[in-house]
Structure 1
Amino acid sequence: MSFSTAIVGPGAIGTTIAAALHESGNTPVLCGHRHRDHLTLLDGTRIITVPGPILTDPAEQADTADVVFLAVKATQTEAAAGWLTSLCGPHTVVCVLQNGIEQVRMVTPYAAGSQVIPAVVWFPAQAQPDGSILLRGHAQLTLPDTQASKVIQAVLDNTWCEAELSADFSSLAWRKLLQNAAGGLMVLTGRRSGTYRRADISRLTLDYLDECLQVARAEGASLDDGTPQEILNIYQSSPPDMGNSILADHEAGRPLEWDIRNGVIQRLGRVHGIPTPISDVIVPLLAAASDAN
């Protein structure tokens, strides 16, 4: 069965999904805020070109899509509302490729009654100075085990982007959130993954992740005591020049996703009566860094 697809937000994550779909013979409709003739993904020695154009006016799109991949930053969801209105019909499935654990709550008001499915994105993709996207790992998504998720899985079934279903999606989403929360230290230090090899930053990262872990468990996530060290190991074993999306936004002068990545820990900690002394320092600093942009 064939499905019509659309990508809203052809940045690093959106371009990766678009390239996977295009190579499988299902070239998606591309929707963004800047006109381009094509997208380019660099994957090892391969160069994948996804034909455009990138549409910039929701009024240009007359047809709804079976599956919409929403790949804009959480800070841009409201600005993408026009695209969701144009692309979504009563049977559309919206796959939200955003950070955080609040995707459904944040996107549903704009989805025109469509089914909204959150996803955990596990692959590193980075924008390059020439506008291309460099994929630096295996492309994989995790989705909750629902019927709507199986539609997304079917769309990606014949591509090199793996889509797995999880019966405990919430725990995996929280684990990724902890990884993203620790990534905020790149903004505050002005450095990339190499910063986590410092002994003092390593200790701070572990203490912060322990704090995040207590909040995650209070929210029902099943994460073991070794999770903070596992996440630190990921950063320490990454190439020292590896950045992340929040650092890229900071360097480009864009608003930061500080609230959905870090503020949520502080907010939910208060709900559960869990002290968050490190969050109480990190969150206002990241908010101020975002204001400066």
Structure 2
Amino acid sequence: MTLTGEGNTRQSVAVVGAGAVGGVFASALHRAGHDVSLCVRTPFDELVIETSGGTEHVPVTVVTDPADVRPVDWVLLAVKAFDTAGTARWLAALCDEHTTVVVLRNGVEQTDDVQALVPKTTVLPALVYIQAERLAPGHIRHGYGNSLDVPAGPAADRLTRLFQGSGTDIRPQQDLLTAAWRKLMLNAAVNPLTALTLRRMEVMGDRMIRDLAEGLMRETQVVAEAVGARLTGADVLQTLAFMEEFSDGNGTSMLYDRLSGNSLEWEALNGAVVRYADLYGIDVPLNRAMTALLHALAPLHAAPTAEEPAGTQLAAA
């Protein structure tokens, strides 16, 4: 038995996806004394995490081929919802009946598609609360926050032990449904509004944008109640207050994805609000408008078509 510095058994961990979230938690688990591999498409030499306290160089193993891995104790799945199907080969190689997969992603539909890929494996949904930005492959800036909300139970207890000594706060929730919709209430406002305006959180200082954010949250809260989440108008006001605590220079994952030319996870955010609203016959015009706008966005740096003069894309953005 190998023990970490905190007295826990040393575990094997694979992090699938080396974006901001994957990088931060890979670093945390290395700090806790575990054997950590990063499963990626784009190779890099080392994992570098920038924080206000300095720069950390993390000696994790970087793997680019599922043929080079074998089952591990834990998999942290840190990809967007629309990339889940593309991780099938990784999950098949990394998982057996003894593995636990922790799904680190936004939205309220976290585990069904993952469980279908690994039917004999324990799958644990997790709500991520960090502010981090991927600057380049393997290079992450971690601003603040370092916690995960997970459903209370034996898997949460094991995850707490796994992260002991890492600086990460594991917060078991008796009602993850409510916790997930509370987070979606924030994400359905700040993610699209920063991505569409191409501005960081300082844009929320604009009264019209702040009012629009509140409208998006109120629509989401009504849908959440219909689904069974225990959210009220008071939660909207608390979420607005939480939003206003963010630094003006903070961005959102959707803004970072748009600036990088990546696909946007609108289907898991505003798209989810619209889908559930349709099920319950609830009118959500603001979320429907955000969904349509995000769906229609062209890549920020796309080349102009033959009929389109150079510069039109950038001006339109």
Using the size of structure 1 for normalisation, the TM-score is 0.95
Q: Do the aligned residues in 1 keep the contact of 2:100 with 2:122 (CA within 8 Å)? A: yes
Deviation, 1:279, is: 1.6
Distance 2:184 2:114 in 1: 18
Distance 2:258 2:33 in 1: 36
Unaligned residue ranges in structure 2 (runs of 5+): 1-8, 303-317
Equivalent residue for 1:243? 251
One-letter amino acid of the counterpart of residue 242, structure 1: N
Q: Is 1:17 matched up with 2:8?
A: no
Deviation, 1:230, is: 2.5
Q: SS at 2:35's partner residue?
A: coil
One-letter amino acid of the counterpart of residue 73, structure 1: K
Q: Describe how 1:249-268 pairs up with structure 2 within 5 A.
A: 249-268=257-276
Q: Is 1:44 matched up with 2:48?
A: no
Q: Describe how 1:47-58 pairs up with structure 2 within 5 A.
A: 47-58=55-66
Equivalent residue for 2:203? 195
Distance 2:54 2:178 in 1: 34
Distance 1:191 1:30 in 2: 31
Q: Name segments (4+ residues, structure 1) moved above 3 Å.
A: 290-293
Give the one of 77, 85, 88 matched to 1:70: 77
Distance 1:251 1:208 in 2: 23
Q: Do the aligned residues in 2 keep the contact of 1:18 with 1:27 (CA within 8 Å)? A: no
Root-mean-square deviation (Å): 1.7
Q: Describe how 1:127-138 pairs up with structure 2 within 5 A.
A: 127-128=134-135, 131-138=138-145
Q: Do the aligned residues in 2 keep the contact of 1:196 with 1:232 (CA within 8 Å)? A: no
Equivalent residue for 1:119? 126
Deviation, 1:152, is: 1.6
Q: Do the aligned residues in 1 keep the contact of 2:76 with 2:101 (CA within 8 Å)? A: yes
Q: SS at 2:88's partner residue?
A: helix
Q: Do the aligned residues in 1 keep the contact of 2:32 with 2:164 (CA within 8 Å)? A: no
Q: Do the aligned residues in 1 keep the contact of 2:30 with 2:60 (CA within 8 Å)? A: no
Distance 2:35 2:21 in 1: 16
Q: Is 1:181 matched up with 2:184?
A: no
One-letter amino acid of the counterpart of residue 97, structure 1: L
Distance 1:53 1:26 in 2: 12
One-letter amino acid of the counterpart of residue 170, structure 1: L
- 1:36-84 per-residue CA deviation (whole Å, 9 max, x = no partner) reads 12101122213222214411110011x2111110011112111111111
Give the one of 83, 99, 105 matched to 1:98: 105
Answer with 224-233 or 244-253: which moved more: 224-233
Deviation, 1:227, is: 2.1
**Structure possessing the higher radius of gyration over alpha carbons:** 2
Q: Do the aligned residues in 2 keep the contact of 1:142 with 1:165 (CA within 8 Å)? A: yes
Equivalent residue for 1:150? 157
Q: Is 1:140 matched up with 2:147?
A: yes
One-letter amino acid of the counterpart of residue 235, structure 2: T
Q: SS at 2:171's partner residue?
A: strand
Using the size of structure 2 for normalisation, the TM-score is 0.88
Call closer, same or farther: CA 1:5–1:57 in 2, change over 3 Å: same
Deviation, 1:32, is: 0.7
